Amino acid sequence: MSASDRTRTSDRNGIRPPSRLRWTPVLVAVLIVMLAACASRPGSTVLEPADVKPGGRAVTIFVATLRTPEPGTTSSFNSVQLPTLRFARYVVSIPPAHRPGAIEWPRDRPDRATDFVTIESARLSEGEFRSGIVAAQGGGRSVRLFVHGYNNSYPESIYRLAQIAADAHDDRVAVLFAWPSKASALAYAADRAAASASTDGLARTIEILAQSSGGGDTLLAHSMGAWLTVQTLSKMSPERRQAVFARYSNIVLAAPDIDVAEMVRRLETIGRLPRPLTLLVSSDDKALTMAGILTGGRRVGVDDVHDPWVQAAAKRYGVRVVDISELTTADSFLHGRFTAMVALYSKFQSQIENPSGRHFAGPGVFVFRARTSTLEPIGR
């Protein structure tokens, strides 16, 4: 967006987004190399069911994906994009000594006592996917739909959702929408293109879940997955959007990799949802700082909740902006704090999901206090 475009946006909305960032090519190159130098990642073999001794609890993950089935295996999918959805199911064992927020990756010889271990996997038809979720919802269980972010491999996205499901302790049915990230720090532009081409697939997944769910579902989207989610919402008709998301008790965009000016435009299109849209932000997120450098625009995920512009925008668009900077993370880029928040969710769930509750956190800006696991309002 040019400077004149930003001016027109701010004139129309009565609020002015922060200005673009300007960085030198040398600094951009240094940051990209730093990100690309992250530790090696697990391969698709971790999704092959292991013949191991019983131990730990098991988490079932249902998957809707636009990835292509990996040749030579029945358990994995690659990064080639398909025009239509494919489906799968995995059962992942969580070790008894699991640390909240962490993924204990299996070693050469997986051990259920110490590692995350895949113990079942199956590719499904759409009918099997639907019936599997309906069966899993027996007893009134709701759904958690997770949309992963940039630079995520297929195994990483499955094990991340397994960690989230294990730490949340809320017994929701875990569903992953796996768009075809290239799983490379150097493929930011390619991942944005893949995410942009995945809006129909995500919309279809949301519709399938809405048809089988009784309500009370949650949607958690991280980083570039948040951008994909906002794009998908803005493309729906108003009637379709309201009908589908009336079933969701909470929609969370964690560390959203979305240009601030674009977010304003999307929110103008989306309008107010039945419940406040939740944004989890931290101004020291290094990964989003780099994304801002690459794209030339400040990202929503580094918003400062003490900024009057952010406070005004939150009220105008019915958004709940929560600073989660107090949470600790082993992620050196400070981009994965939301994974630590999941384990505390039961302590502040009513603030997020119960509009009639005494301490309900409606539209506005908040700081998440790690010591008390509560959302503290700012400026009230």
Closest CA to 1 of 14, 13, 28, 19: 19
- Angle at which helices 188-196 and 224-235 cross, to 10°: 30
According to DSSP, residue 270 is labeled: H
**Residue extent(s) of CATH 3.40.50 domains in the chain:** 38-254
Residue 306 amino acid letter: H
205 φ/ψ angles, rounded to the nearest 5 degrees: -60, -45
Q: What is the pLDDT along the chain (380 residues), one digit of tens a residue?
A: 333 333 444 444 455 565 544 444 544 554 555 554 455 688 999 999 998 876 779 999 999 999 999 998 989 999 999 999 999 999 999 999 999 999 999 988 899 999 999 999 999 999 999 999 999 998 789 999 999 999 999 999 999 999 999 999 899 999 999 999 999 989 999 999 999 999 999 999 999 998 887 788 999 999 999 999 999 999 999 998 888 888 888 999 999 999 999 999 999 999 888 889 999 999 999 999 999 988 888 999 999 999 999 999 999 999 999 999 999 988 889 999 999 999 898 899 999 988 888 889 999 999 999 999 999 999 76
- How is 298-316 classified by DSSP, letter by letter? -BGGG--TT-HHHHHHHHH
pLDDT value at residue 56: 78
Classify 38-254 by CATH class: alpha beta
Please give the full DSSP string across 191-241, using - where no structure is assigned: HHHHHHTTHHHHHHHHHHHHHH--S-EEEEEETHHHHHHHHHHHHS-HHHH
